[in-house]
Amino acid sequence: MKKLLILGSTGSIGVNTLDVVRKSADKFEIFGLTANRNVDLLSEQVREFNPEVVVITDEEAAKKFIETSGFRGEILTGADGLISVTQNGNYDILVASLVGFAGLAPTLEAIKRGKRIALANKETLVVAGEIIKSLSRTHNSEIIPVDSEHSAIFQSLVGENSAHVRKLILTASGGPFFDKPKEYLKNVTVKDALAHPNWKMGNKVTIDSATMMNKGLEVIEAKWLFDMPLEKIEVLIHPQSIIHSMVEYIDGSIKAQLSLPDMRLPIQYALTYPERFESAFVNTEFPKLRELTFFEPDLDKFENLKLAFDAIKQGGNAPCVLNAANEIAVEAFLNGKIAFVEIPELIRKTLDKIEYKKIENLETLFECDRQTRMFSKNLIKGK
pLDDT tens, position by position, 319-344: 999 999 999 999 999 999 999 999 99
Q: What is the pLDDT of residue 197?
A: 80
Average pLDDT, the chain: 94
Give the chain's end-to-end CA distance (angstroms, integer): 54
What pLDDT, in 10s, does the model give residues 163-177? 999 999 999 999 999
Q: What is the predicted pLDDT for the residue at 189?
A: 96
Does the pLDDT of residue 89 top 90, yes or no?
yes
Q: In this predicted structure, what is the pLDDT of residue 191?
A: 95
52 vs 5: CA distance, rounded Å: 10
pTM: 0.92
Cα distance between residue 29 and residue 49, in whole Å: 8
What's the pLDDT at 201?
A: 78
Overall size of the chain counted in residues: 383
Tens-digit pLDDT profile for residues 102-125: 889 999 999 999 999 999 988 889
Q: What are the boundaries of each domain within the chain?
A: 2-145
Q: Please check the confidence at residue 202 and state whether its pLDDT lies above 90.
A: no
What residues are paired with 145 via a beta bridge? Answer: 119
pLDDT tier, 259 (very low <50, low <70, confident <90, very high otherwise): very high
User: Taking 80 as the threshold, does the pLDDT of residue 46 lie above it?
Assistant: yes
pLDDT reported for residue 146: 96
| Residue 93 · residue 142 · CB < 8 Å | no
d(CA 173, CA 251): 27
pLDDT of residue 2: 97
How confident is residue 293, by pLDDT bands cut at 50, 70 and 90?
Answer: very high
Among 3.40.50.1100, 3.30.1950.10, 2.130.10.10, 3.40.50.720, what is the CATH number of 2-145? 3.40.50.720
Q: Which of 182, 147, 205, 175 is nearest to 299 (CA)?
A: 182
What is the percentage of the chain residues whose pLDDT exceeds 70?
100
Per-residue pLDDT, averaged over 45-52, amounts to: 97
Q: How many CB atoms lie within 10 A of CB 46?
A: 22
Q: Is the pLDDT of residue 241 over 90?
A: yes
- Tell me how far apart the alpha carbons of residues 368 and 320 are, in angstroms, rounded to a whole number: 7
Residue 198: pLDDT over 80 = no
Q: Is 298 exposed, middle or buried (0-12, 13-18, 19+ CB in 10 A)?
A: middle
Classify strands 2-7 and 93-96 as parallel, antiparallel or unpaired. Answer: parallel
Instruction: Give the per-residue pLDDT at 280.
Output: 83
pLDDT of 45 higher than 80:
yes
Q: Note the pLDDT of residue 341.
A: 97
pLDDT for the residue numbered 199: 72
